[in-house]
């Protein structure tokens, strides 16, 4: 007796830059904790304009302002074109404007997305921009079993950076890598700043709805390695996401001690209005704890995050080394 072959769902792997990426460790990965007051306004027009001014109070620094603006054009001829801007009042912080278009060649390369960005600073190019801003053109393309990205950034004169990545895979398993080349001057040659590779796997959802995934990726020319194991809806509980992340220096860094850390992170949605976020470094017993709360029916969101260190003794309290609070009002 013959049987009909079961159809296999097409698998599109994540872009290499997303291997092991998760919001679970976001509370730990913040560079600094600031006090923030923000106002969010969303228009009811077809453009979906969003206007978000904020005041940021950073530790040991003067208050600074920031304005985020974004909208998506839904007109007949420019469907899928989005514009976003991040404007800073402090010169040391990068201001940027980006225009992105999705599925720009639907008949030739369906799924090709392109972004044009102007920014006042660029982490991969150390010099100041010759004409006041760096220009970046980037593209990403994903199809069955493959995902590709490429970008070029330049100051319009001497500095140029080129980045490319590729990922291939099937049935939840993917392998990939990237390379970054930098040209620092007119007479300089392109030199590799980074090249890395990694593997990623996402299992099919279990009967309880849990989704388990993991990744192994390198960083900084294979000088570092990161291993991540993640679970969404841990054991089928819709309100718990958890993960373990290990970062190890394979080579001694030029400055400071080698990095060796294992982090456990958790997002716990206690109620529809309240989310707890935490991360603990197992080898140092320090960590971060945060809470986000949005009262039901209110146009207000509150957040607080604190960093704590290892207690001095078994019976000592966890010392708080820094903290930040946030207040957001408006269309949230």
Tell me what the pLDDT averaged over the chain comes to: 89
Compare 216 and 111 and report the one with higher pLDDT. Answer: 216
- Classified as helix, coil or strand, 188 is coil
The helix (H) or strand (E) run that includes residue 24 is none
Gap between the terminal Cα atoms of the chain: 58
Q: What is the pLDDT of residue 215?
A: 97
* Count of residues in the chain: 332
* Closest to 328 in 3D by CA, of 305, 303, 304: 303
* Closest to 82 in 3D by CA, of 98, 95, 96, 68: 98
Q: What is the pLDDT of residue 106?
A: 87
pLDDT digits (tens, 9 = 90+) for 33-89: 899 999 999 887 766 789 999 999 988 888 999 999 998 876 666 667 899 999 999
Q: What is the pLDDT of residue 314?
A: 80
CA 296 from centre of chain: 28
Question: Alpha carbon of 232 to those of 132, 207, 212, 265, 282: distances in Å?
Answer: 43, 13, 7, 12, 21
Q: What is the pLDDT of residue 168?
A: 97
Do residues 39 and 53 lie in contact, with contact meaning Cβ atoms separated by under 8 Å?
A: yes
pLDDT digits (tens, 9 = 90+) for 140-162: 999 999 999 999 999 988 899 99
CA 28 from centre of chain: 13
- As a whole number of angstroms, the distance between CA 85 and CA 290 comes to 28
Instruction: Map out the domains of the chain as residue ranges.
Output: 27-191+260-330
- As a whole number of angstroms, the distance between CA 165 and CA 326 comes to 36
- Band (1; pLDDT cuts 50, 70, 90): very low
Burial of 218 (0-12, 13-18, 19+ CB in 10 A): middle
- Structure tokens, 163: 């980045």
CA 154 from centre of chain: 23
Q: What is the pLDDT of residue 37?
A: 96
Q: Which own/partner contact pairs does 180-184 have at CB distance under 8 Å and 24+ positions apart?
A: 180/124, 182/124, 182/125, 183/158, 183/159, 184/125, 184/126, 184/127, 184/158, 184/159
Do residues 260 and 252 lie in contact, with contact meaning Cβ atoms separated by under 8 Å?
A: no
pLDDT > 70? residue 265: yes
Q: Output phi, psi for 26, to 5 deg.
A: -60, -35
CATH assignment, 27-191+260-330: 2.40.160.10
Neighbours of 236 (CB within 10 A): 12
Q: Which of the listed ranges 2-11, 115-124, 306-315 does the model predict with the highest average pLDDT?
A: 115-124
Partnered with residue 224 across adjacent β-strands are 219, 249
Neighbours of 213 (CB within 10 A): 19
Neighbours of 129 (CB within 10 A): 19
Partnered with residue 214 across adjacent β-strands are 201, 229
Query: Model pTM greater than 0.75?
Result: yes
- Classified as helix, coil or strand, 28 is helix
pLDDT digits (tens, 9 = 90+) for 162-212: 999 999 999 999 999 999 999 987 788 899 999 999 999 999 999 989 999
- As a whole number of angstroms, the distance between CA 127 and CA 165 comes to 25
Mean pLDDT along residues 82-110: 92
Q: What is the pLDDT of residue 313?
A: 83
- As a whole number of angstroms, the distance between CA 10 and CA 216 comes to 23
């Amino acid at each position: 007796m013959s049987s009909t072959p079961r159809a296999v769902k097409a698998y599109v792997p994540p872009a290499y830059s997303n291997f092991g990426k998760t919001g679970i460790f976001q509370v730990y990965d913040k560079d600094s904790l600031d006090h923030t007051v923000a106002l969010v306004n969303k228009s009811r027009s077809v453009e979906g304009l969003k206007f978000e001014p904020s005041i940021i109070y950073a530790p040991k620094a003067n208050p600074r302002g920031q304005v985020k603006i974004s909208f998506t054009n839904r007109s007949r001829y420019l469907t899928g074109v989005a514009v976003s801007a991040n404007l800073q009042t402090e010169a040391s912080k990068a201001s940027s404007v980006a225009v992105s278009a999705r599925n720009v060649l639907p008949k030739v390369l369906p799924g090709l997305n392109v972004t044009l960005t102007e920014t006042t600073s660029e982490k991969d190019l150390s010099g100041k921009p010759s004409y006041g801003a760096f220009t970046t053109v980037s593209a990403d393309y994903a199809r069955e079993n493959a995902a590709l990205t490429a970008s070029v950034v330049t100051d319009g004169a001497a500095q140029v950076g080129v980045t490319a990545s590729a990922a291939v895979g099937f049935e939840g398993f993917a392998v990939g890598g990237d390379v970054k080349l930098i040209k620092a001057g007119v007479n300089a040659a392109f030199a590799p700043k980074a090249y890395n590779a990694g593997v990623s796997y996402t299992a099919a959802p279990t009967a309880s709805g849990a989704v388990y995934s993991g990744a192994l990726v390198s960083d900084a020319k294979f000088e570092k390695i990161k291993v991540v194991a993640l679970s969404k809806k841990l054991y089928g509980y819709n309100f718990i996401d958890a993960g373990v992340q290990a970062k190890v220096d394979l080579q001694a860094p030029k400055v400071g001690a080698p990095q060796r850390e294992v982090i456990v992170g958790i997002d716990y949605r206690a109620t529809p209005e309240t989310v707890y976020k935490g991360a603990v470094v197992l080898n140092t017993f320090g960590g971060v704890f945060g809470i986000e709360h949005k009262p039901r029916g209110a146009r207000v969101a509150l957040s607080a995050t604190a960093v704590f260190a290892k207690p001095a003794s078994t019976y000592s309290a966890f010392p708080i080394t820094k903290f930040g609070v946030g207040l957001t009002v408006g269309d949230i």
